[in-house]
A = this chain, B = another copy of it.
Amino acid sequence: MATGRTHRPATRSRGIPEATVARLPLYLRALTALSERSVPTVSSEELAAAAGVNSAKLRKDFSYLGSYGTRGVGYDVEYLVYQISRELGLTQDWPVVIVGIGNLGAALANYGGFASRGFRVAALIDADPAMAGKPVAGIPVQHTDELESIIRDNGVSIGVIATPAGAAQQVCDRLVAAGVTSILNFAPTVLSVPDGVDVRKVDLSIELQILAFHEQRKAGEEAAAEVTAQAAAVPATTREESATDQGPDGDVPAVMPA
């Protein structure tokens, strides 16, 4: 995503490639599942399959963290879980605020995976006075007026924006001014932030449009293929247009009214 990370002697941090960072959570999830099944070790091949990536890529990714594997054996599951968690900063507590408690905001507040890994919903904030006090996911919604004090009092550095597009930039500005330096944006807007602030976006309509693009191509190729292969009954499953990748390619999606 962002990061201008240039220069700086690197106080030891080997500068993990961004693409690798983006995959660590994936590995962590797969490893956690193995851990729960009490599997002691995995090979790069097995873990790669579980995470849906190529094993060489996985090994290279891990090589940026250090040499945590054992040749001829594989990786110790528990140990790797710990190392990746530490690398991602999940061994500490991250209070998070969610701003905009509409359908989506409520869904996010109810999202179980939040608490699971270091993240804690510190507060839910909404501009609608009628919402104030109403509990969502067991947490009382607070009014936007309190945004600054909430952030400061709880030492929040990560904010989630789930407001309509029109309000997003303004909310963003207030979050940043109050001290938030990482933002997850679900509103379909490009946010502008000062240097030093990270923004990631999640945009449903962008994702759908990307799918539509490929879908359209498939339709075209099908028609072309019909001419070539006529009724040659090729198992539709072995066509050349693959797609098991599921992630690291382009943008991220956004959710909310356009």
Q: Which residues of A are interface residues toward B (Cβ below 8 A)? A: 1-8, 11, 13, 18-19, 21-26, 28-30, 32, 50-52, 87-90, 92, 94, 96, 102-104, 106-108, 110-114, 116-119, 157-158, 181-185, 188, 190-218, 220-221, 224, 236-253, 255-258
Contact B255 A107 (CB under 8 A): yes
Q: How far is the CB of A193 from chain B (nearest CB, A)?
A: 6
Q: Please, how many angstroms separate the alpha-carbon atoms of A1 and B210 in the complex?
A: 9
Q: What are 26 residue pairs bridging A and B, where the CB atoms are less than 8 Å apart in the complex?
A: A1-B210, A1-B247, A3-B242, A5-B241, A8-B221, A22-B206, A29-B188, A29-B258, A52-B190, A52-B192, A89-B216, A103-B111, A113-B204, A114-B204, A114-B205, A119-B212, A181-B218, A193-B244, A194-B236, A197-B243, A198-B211, A199-B243, A199-B244, A200-B247, A248-B250, A252-B253
Q: Please, how many angstroms separate the alpha-carbon atoms of A250 and B118 in the complex?
A: 21
18 further A-B pairs in the complex, CB-CB below 8 A; given A2-B242, A158-B215: A2-B244, A3-B214, A18-B249, A52-B190, A103-B110, A112-B258, A113-B255, A114-B204, A114-B205, A117-B208, A182-B214, A184-B211, A184-B253, A191-B246, A196-B237, A196-B243, A197-B243, A199-B246
Contact A2 B158 (CB under 8 A): no
Contact of A111 among B19, B242, B245, B257 (CB under 8 A): B257
Contact B247 A204 (CB under 8 A): no
Contact B26 A251 (CB under 8 A): yes
> Given known contacts A21-B213, A209-B90, is B246 in contact with A112 (CB within 8 Å)?
no
Q: Please, how many angstroms separate the alpha-carbon atoms of A51 and B107 in the complex?
A: 28
Contact A28 B243 (CB under 8 A): no
Contact B196 A236 (CB under 8 A): yes
Q: Please, how many angstroms separate the alpha-carbon atoms of A74 and B77 in the complex?
A: 55
* Of A103, A210, A215, A257, most B-chain CB atoms within 10 Å: A210
Q: A52 contacts which chain B residues (CB < 8 A)?
A: 190, 192
| CB nearest to A200 among chain B residues | B207
| CB nearest to A225 among chain B residues | B8
Contact A1 B197 (CB under 8 A): no
Q: How far is the CB of A8 from chain B (nearest CB, A)?
A: 7
| CB nearest to A241 among chain B residues | B196
Q: How far is the CB of A156 from chain B (nearest CB, A)?
A: 11
Q: Please, how many angstroms separate the alpha-carbon atoms of A250 and B181 in the complex?
A: 19
